[in-house]
Amino acid sequence: MTVAARSEDELASLVAGIRAHGGVAESVSVDLTDPLQQERLVSGAVERYGGLDILVNAAGVASFGEFATSTPEILRKVMEINFFVPTELMRLARPHLAESAQTGYRPAILNLASICGRCGIPSLPEHCASKHALVGLTETVRSEFARFGIDVLLVLPGVVQSDDLQRHLLRNEGRIYLNFEGAQKADAVADAVVTSLIRNRRERAVGFVSRVVWWSRRLWPRVLRLVMLRKVQKFAARQTKG
């Protein structure tokens, strides 16, 4: 497999771990917002392995704060990385995945989105917008790519335990409480990705909170809206007391 990210050190550690468990992996340090580097990433993987069977879109960035105090620049950056990057990688990968399907293999695209793609969460407006867009595109592409023999899957985690998330937040001034310490482990999300690929699960919410939100959005949407409103009101009350 080819793994791609910005940090060469983190990539080297990831590749070493994969190889230590008997896997085959190469790393590519890349700026995924650069169209030329996107093309080189896909074409390089195809050349290295003789084809392409699976594309996993996992790159992402977030901004934690209210829409009223945000900026157009923050929105554009979040949309660029969370939506346009996976969009173009799917476009570039499609012909190679379709070619793989001709050999009898069942290729797949898996988009690692977020439960924010199914429910608007206060203080995460840009993140929710980008993930809603990605979820919508995933559902559309799933139908279109079926004629090429390509499966398109969706995994929806909640807050994940990761130093990267807080370190790379574009801002951190949200008005709701997010339990980063009690968040689901990254390994659980990774297991969900692998399981979804093996079982060909079209959509999967990962973690207790994500599953509760996923089902509540369908069964009790009014209750869920009230819960989200209450989260903001509680923050305002704490600020007033302080």
- Does position 165 have pLDDT exceeding 60, yes or no? no
Q: Tell which residue, 177, 169, 173, 176, has the closest CA to residue 74.
A: 169
CA-CA-CA-CA torsion sign (71, 57, 122, 226): positive
Pairing of strands 54-57, 108-112: parallel
User: In this structure, what are the phi and psi dihedrals at residue 152, rounded to the nearest 5 degrees?
Assistant: -125, 115
Report the DSSP pairing between strands 108-112 and 151-157: parallel
Q: What's the pLDDT at 233?
A: 73
Q: Phi/psi of residue 21, each to 5°?
A: -100, 15
Structure-model confidence comparison of residues 163 and 44, the more confident one: 44
A 10 A CB-CB count for 187 gives 10
Report d(CA 61, CA 101) in Å as an integer: 32
Supply the Cα-derived Rg of the chain in whole angstroms.
19
pLDDT at 181 (0 to 100): 58
Which is higher by pLDDT, 208 or 56?
Answer: 56
- Name which of 43-47, 55-59, 176-180, 226-230 the model is least confident about: 176-180
- What confidence category does residue 164 fall into, taking pLDDT thresholds of 50, 70 and 90? low
pLDDT tops 70 at residue 133: yes
Q: What is the pLDDT of residue 99?
A: 96
* Cβ-proximal residues to 111 (8 Å cutoff; 6+ apart), any chain: 57, 86, 134, 138, 152, 153, 154, 155
Average per-residue pLDDT in the chain? 87
Determine the Cα–Cα distance for residues 6 and 198; give it in Å rounded to an integer: 28
Instruction: Point out which residues pair with 151 in neighbouring strands.
Output: 108
The single-letter DSSP state of residue 157 is: E
- Higher local confidence (pLDDT), 177 or 217: 217
User: For residue 239, what pLDDT band results from cuts at 50, 70 and 90?
Assistant: low
Find the farthest-apart pair of alpha carbons in the chain and give their distance in angstroms, rounded.
65
- Residue 70: the pLDDT is 94
65-68-72 Cα angle (round to 5): 85
For the whole model, what pTM was predicted? 0.87
User: Which pLDDT score, from 0 to 100, does residue 198 have?
Assistant: 94
Share of the chain above pLDDT 70, in %: 91
Lowest-confidence segment of 118-127, 148-157, 210-219 by average pLDDT: 210-219
Domains within the chain, CATH numbers bracketed: 52-241 (3.40.50.720)
**Residue in the block written with tokens 């429910």:** 119
